Amino acid sequence: MGNKIRVYSSDLQLGMYIAELDRPWTDTPFMFQGFILRKESEIETLRGCCEYVYVDEEQSQADVAAKLTLQRPVGEGEQQTGMPGASGASGFSEAVFRNSLTRSHAVYRDARGWIDQMLEDSRLGNSVDTDQARVLVTQLADEVIRNPDALIWLTYLKSRDEYTATHCMNVCILALTFGRCLGLDETALHQLGLGALLHDLGKMQIPGEVLHKPGRLTEEEFAIIKKHPGLGFAMLRDDKNLNKASLHIVLHHHERLDGRGYPRGLGEKKIPLLTRISSIVDVYDAITSDRCYHDGIAPAQALENLFKWASGNFDVALLENFIKCIGIYPIGSVVRLSSGEVGIIVASDAYNRLKPVLLIVKNAAGKPCGQCRLINMASVSWEKGDAHLSIEQVLESKAAGVDIKAVLQQELDLSSCDGASS
């Protein structure tokens, strides 16, 4: 058998030989494992149940095989970013989008449930099930590889009252996404994800009146907060199943390159790559989240702030790579189009950051849409009809009257209904 090329289901064409799917064949209506696409109905069925498939180049029809050269063979260091179908060379499949969101949410929901239990165990002084943590990180890492945009959008299921739990979850997702963009190998990626997932475990040992204080902390109260990395490390250091890199993240994610961080004031040379990554995504999620003492800021503003604060705090080259990874219009950004419509960025194309996928939530008159619609600005077919549209302004979600979490929950409910009826 020849090279197997990963192809988004939105890019499928008649004449391609489908060698493998992104899921077991038994989970689909297809009776045969391996076949040439001969009917448009077969393409539509694949789009409805798969994000991507593996096409055998040699067994595909010659005219189609020649068009596959833009895709990399499996095993040659392929990296994939952006939502399926978000390539400017293809149309956008709403069915694929909703299936991706539903599947990513299932992984997210399972991991979030475990985090709630982990934090409760920590609060009570019980041991933490790190074996289950590793399983969840593996599942999240796999989902980041398959569909990073959907998982990042799910980080907006944030709650001011459940900050620590959602923060642990989101830092893990963002760290895995960034690590994937940097090309980390599987071992390093899992070490990074595990450390990020557990990084704030020690906060459960901090008195609630300090941890959840709505006003400015006193020096004494901040000194108590600064104990949380050491408290988390103390709970985990005797776990023989945890590696040193993950434990380093737990203990040192608040260290800074100029030595002014805590708990040990480590300098630049003593802060390894995985901990540097965790520090950046930790701050990014913190400042974009609503907390007991402040409202979160827009993703684009957060990236700008991080860059302003970089000197002495963060690895500048690494931060620049994070900004490239997140994009000029990060997932979750609220924008106004030249038409006056308002949308939320829900996916991006790594090769065309200026033309993301948006969920339109308000019409040109500023009225909420009854049912949000997707627009793929990178789609050729979309450009033919609305080539004059462009993003004019990035908005603050609250000022724009957009509740991102509520919109996301609505989309999840809609995706679940579609899945149940299919």
Looking at residue 121, what is its pLDDT?
87
Q: What is the pLDDT of residue 176?
A: 95
d(CA 308, CA 288): 16
Q: Which residues of the chain have pLDDT under 70?
A: 1-2, 63-93, 349-352, 379-388, 416-422
Q: Residues 162, 40: one domain? A: no
d(CA 328, CA 418): 32
Question: Do residues 312 and 261 make contact, with C-beta atoms less than 8 angstroms apart?
Answer: no
44/161 same-domain check: no
Asked if residue 280 and residue 407 are part of one domain, the reply reads no
Query: Would you state the pLDDT for residue 278?
Result: 98
What's the confidence (pLDDT) of residue 388?
67
State whether 304 and 219 are in the same domain.
yes
Domain residues for 312?
A: 95-326
Is the bond preceding 263 in cis, omega lying within 30 degrees of 0? yes
Q: Do residue 302 and residue 389 come from a single domain?
A: no
231 and 113, same domain (yes or no): yes
pLDDT recorded at residue 146? 78
**pLDDT score, position 380:** 54
Burial class from Cβ neighbours inside 10 Å (0-12, 13-18, 19+) for residue 317 reads exposed
Residue 249 within any structural domain of the chain: yes
Q: Are residues 108 and 31 in the same domain?
A: no
Amino acid 350: pLDDT:
64
Tell me which residue has tokens 């019409």: 363
CA Rg, the chain, in Å? 22
- CATH number of the domain that residue 118 is part of: 1.10.3210.10
Cα 22–Cα 23–Cα 28 angle in degrees, nearest 5: 115
Measured CA to CA, the distance from residue 315 to residue 182 in angstroms comes to 14
If we measure between CA atoms, which residue out of 10, 8, 12, 6 comes closest to residue 92? 10
Q: Both tokens of residue 171? A: 């830092």
For position 63, what pLDDT does the model report?
67
Do 194 and 303 lie in one domain? The reply is yes
Assess whether 314 and 347 both reside in one domain.
no
Which of 78, 103, 133 is the last residue before a domain boundary? 78
Last residue of a domain, one of 48, 78, 108: 78
User: Is there a contact between 71 and 2 (Cβ–Cβ < 8 Å)?
Assistant: no
**84 within a domain of the structure (yes/no):** no
Within a domain: residue 409?
A: yes
Same domain assignment for residues 72 and 175: no
Indicate whether 228 and 162 sit together in one domain: yes
Q: Evaluate whether residue 88 is within a structural domain.
A: no
Residue 222 and residue 258 share a domain: yes
Q: Is 90 contained in some domain?
A: no
Is this structure's pTM higher than 0.85?
A: no
- Residue 387: predicted pLDDT: 54
Length of the chain (residues): 422
Domain boundary among 301, 326, 351: 326
Strands laid side by side in the 334-337 sheet: 368-376, 357-362, 342-347, 334-337, 391-395
**Cβ-contact 326, 299 below 8 angstroms:** yes
In a domain, 240, yes or no: yes
pLDDT of residue 71: 40
Q: What is the DSSP letter of 82?
A: S
Q: How many domains does the chain have?
A: 3
Q: Is 70 inside a domain boundary?
A: yes
**18 is a domain residue:** yes
Predicted confidence at residue 64, as pLDDT, reads 67
